[in-house]
Amino acid sequence: MEKVKVMVVDDSRISRMMVSSMLAKTNFEVCAMAENSAEAVALYAKTKPDVVTMDMNLPDADGIECTRRIHAIDPKAKIVMISAMKDAKLIMQGRMAGIGSFLQKPVSTNELIDTLMIMCNENVGAVAVYRESYVTTFAKVLQQSLLSIFGIKSEIEISQNEDSVVRVNGVAAVIGIVGEPKGRVALYMDSDTMYSLSRAMLGMDPQDDLSADEAEAAIEEAGNIIAGRAVSRVNDVFKDKEMRITPPGTVIGTDIILSNPELISFNVIAKTSYGDVHMSVGFARGV
């Protein structure tokens, strides 16, 4: 996915650094940093950012005036104000000047990212937020873990699962997610893939004996590791969140339907030489 360009306007070097570090592990890229209004207008014209974070206090003009000047050169400019003060008068003046959203310092990482995402795509709501903030991380961790745990490369595809129904033939390790947001992740695959992957995980040859119990336990442990890593990664980016995982529950059999219509859920498929490894990631509605 293409990086989303962000320009940070703030007279404080520390504030600029904080915003850039919050965006460092995300899909946003700081393309410009300005410390005053004149510089902001010049850099906006030069770098054409997708979205701007704007401080209220600038040495040569305030953030509202700076917003007006940017809007003069690009009426569609998307600007979010980040200021120490956030009162009704400021919000009203800001809205009239064309500021789309207001955040108060200190701003939390998830607040910033979710706001920037919603601003960059006004038609998207929770689905896109979940997808970009969480599911892409789960997918990356799945891909990296398949390589580190099983030693296999994979191609990843992510899609939204509209009806939130998953069909399992083989094995599914279901791991709950608690904290904010709540949800669950299920790692599942068919039996052949389960045996191949488990042998790879345990360093066994294809002809070595491996019981169903052992193979299922291997997949369960892999699910546990992958979910744990993904949640740690999310916690690392969103420092104010603490998601945790519950112990895995595993279902084994044919024609099992895993149905969670109340969740917003996504399918991640990792295509490997051993077969497809599926991961369903679902979160409770309401960010």
Partner 1 sequence: MDVKLVNPFIDAFTTVLPQMGFPTPQRTGMTVNQQNAVSQGVAVIVGFTKEIRGNVVYNMSEETAKFIASTMMMGMPVESFDEMAQSAISEMSNMLTANAATNLTALGLEVDISTPSLTVGSDFQIKISNEQYLSVIMDVSGHQVEIDIAVKQ
Nearer to partner 1, 71 or 182 (CB): 182
Smallest distance, Å, CB 184 to partner 1?
5
131 Cβ contact list (under 8 Å, min separation 6): 158, 160, 266
Rounded CA-CA distance 159/175 in Å is 20
Residues that bind partner 1 (CB under 8 A): 163, 174-179, 182-184, 186, 216-217, 220, 244-263, 282-284
In angstroms, what is the minimal distance from the CB of 260 to partner 1? 6
- Closer to partner 1 by Cβ: residue 150 or 283: 283
In angstroms, what is the minimal distance from the CB of 264 to partner 1?
A: 11
**Residue 75 or 286 with smaller CB distance to partner 1:** 286
Q: Which is nearer to partner 1, 82 or 186 (CB)?
A: 186
3-state secondary structure 229-283: HHHHHHHHHCCCCCCEECCCEEEEEEEEEEECCCEEEEEEEEEECCEEEEEEEEE
Q: Which pair of tokens denotes residue 13?
A: 């070097």
Shortest spacing between CB 172 and partner 1, in angstroms: 8
Closest CB to partner 1 among residues 75, 261:
261
Number of neighbours of residue 25 by Cβ within 10 angstroms: 14
* 3-state secondary structure at position 28: strand
Pair 270, 281: CB distance under 8 Å: no
Shortest Å, Cβ 174 to partner 1? 5
Going by the DSSP 8-state scheme, the letter that residue 3 receives in this structure is P
Instruction: Report the residue number, 26 or 260, with the smaller CB distance to partner 1.
Output: 260
Return d(Cα 238, Cα 169) in angstroms, integer. Answer: 35
Residue 246 amino acid letter: T
Match 């891909």 to its residue by tokens: 143
* Closest distance to partner 1 from the beta carbon of 193 (Å): 17
